Amino acid sequence: MLSDEKLIQIRRELHQIPEIGLEEFETQALLLKIIKSFPQDNLTIKTHDTGILVHVTGKKSDYTIAYRTDIDGLPVTEATGLPYASKHPGRMHACGHDIHMTVALGLLSSFASKQPEHNFLFIFQPAEENASGGKLLYESGALNEWLPDEIYGLHDNPQLPTGAIGCRLGTLFAGTCEIHITLHGKSGHAAYPHLANDMVVVGAELVTQLQTIVSRNVDPIEGGVVTLGHFEAGTTMNVIAGTAQIDGTIRALTQKMNLHIQKRVREIVAGLEVMYDCKADLDLHQGGYLPVENNPELTKNFIDFMTKQPNVNFIETQPAMTGEDFGFMLSKIKGTMFWLGVDSPYALHSDHLAPHEAAIGKGIAAIEPFLRYRDKQVGA
Ligand SMILES: CC(=O)N[C@@H](CCC[C@H](N)C(=O)O)C(=O)O
């Protein structure tokens, strides 16, 4: 079993080596080193790409409960000024996956030390942020040997008090879809606009039109998000830009609404091509970022357990427009995703995000008894 001091030391080590999805080589090596330091009697360790699967053989082998953590960082330059800040330039654990991994290690160390009744599978999953690592892992067949019957996973939440557990019945997170648009017009001299086809003007028009989708085409009671986080065009003030690049993301709480917004993006882009006699390459990419739909029975069971624990601060939360490829896992394996409060004034993905480390110990103290309870419940 790992002490609170050891857990914090591990978290800081992981925090210093953030890596982009599918490049988590140092992270994988450090995780393996730590996992191999646990009692090995009931553990089988398998790697897949930069991910790790750890199977804990239970006393009975008729049921498998999985616990998943993501392991990747973001292309963000850390600005926390912490003594244990990222050592990797332009990379940061700005979504708290270092906290997620440490909680998973704490839970695994407990199950490695005390054999559960049933099998457990700990999934250290790459590429949650950028490449639907959960979908890749599932579709590769790597889980088949130990296919879980149910699955749990958490995300840290800067808006909840440290160590609080947040959850809700129904959809927890939105489904997302990446938008990538390249506009192709004709570059030229600033003095001769009639001889060129200006993609700054078309791009600006496109941004404005795409921003009408949520206000004009989405039921306001349901809601949705279209954010265009990247717009790049042109080189200098007196050259007309022949190309523009616009990238963004769609978020909606149902897949139906997500597909509806995707359809409107396609229609608007096609209309703009005609209107401005230009060419647009549009790539809408949803991958595994389906809405995170918690299983009703398992989630009710989880919430009932957490609300009854005197030491757990359980908070019923609203759905969030963040995305998670755990949505794909939940479309294949019944389970529950929940929040762990880390109380920070900065949002997820902020270069200042500094989760409270006390959340690690509190999280493990809440989740470990739940998993033990679930392990007993399954056999009853
Ligand atoms: C928890 C979190 O921040 N997740 C990401 C994952 C979604 C990425 C996806 N590729 C997209 O933007 O569509 C998020 O941005 O919500």
Domain count for the chain, please give it. Answer: 2
Q: What is the pLDDT of residues 303-359, one digit of tens each?
A: 999 999 999 999 999 999 999 999 999 999 999 999 999 999 999 999 999 999 999
Q: Which of 285, 302, 318 is the C-terminal boundary of a domain?
A: 285
Pair type for strands 171-173 and 243-252: unpaired
Whole-prediction pTM value?
0.95
Whether 13 has a binding-site annotation, put simply, is no
The atom of ligand 1 lying closest to the CA of 130 is: 10
Whether 278 has a binding-site annotation, put simply, is no
CATH number of the domain within which 230 lies: 3.30.70.360
Q: What is the pLDDT of residues 12-48, one digit of tens each?
A: 999 999 999 999 999 999 999 999 999 999 999 999 9
Shared-domain flag, residues 155 and 272: no
Shared-domain flag, residues 79 and 167: yes
Domain extent at residue 248: 175-285
Shared-domain flag, residues 136 and 35: yes
Ligand 1 pocket (Cβ < 6 Å) reads 95, 129, 155, 176-178, 249, 289, 322-324, 348-349
The atom of ligand 1 lying closest to the CA of 174 is: 16
In the chain, the DSSP E strands lie at 43-48, 51-56, 64-70, 119-125, 150-157, 165-167, 171-173, 175-184, 188-189, 225-233, 239-240, 243-252, 279-285, 292-293, 314-316, 335-341
Q: Which of 267, 285, 303 is the C-terminal boundary of a domain?
A: 285
Of 19, 24, 70, 325, which is the active-site residue?
Answer: 70
Q: What is the pLDDT of residues 238-258, one digit of tens each?
A: 999 999 999 999 999 999 999
User: What is the 260 CA–ligand 1 centroid distance (Å)?
Assistant: 19
Does the annotation mark 5 as catalytic? Answer: no
* ipTM of the complex as predicted: 0.93
Shared-domain flag, residues 165 and 189: no
Does the annotation mark 70 as catalytic? Answer: yes
Shared-domain flag, residues 58 and 130: yes
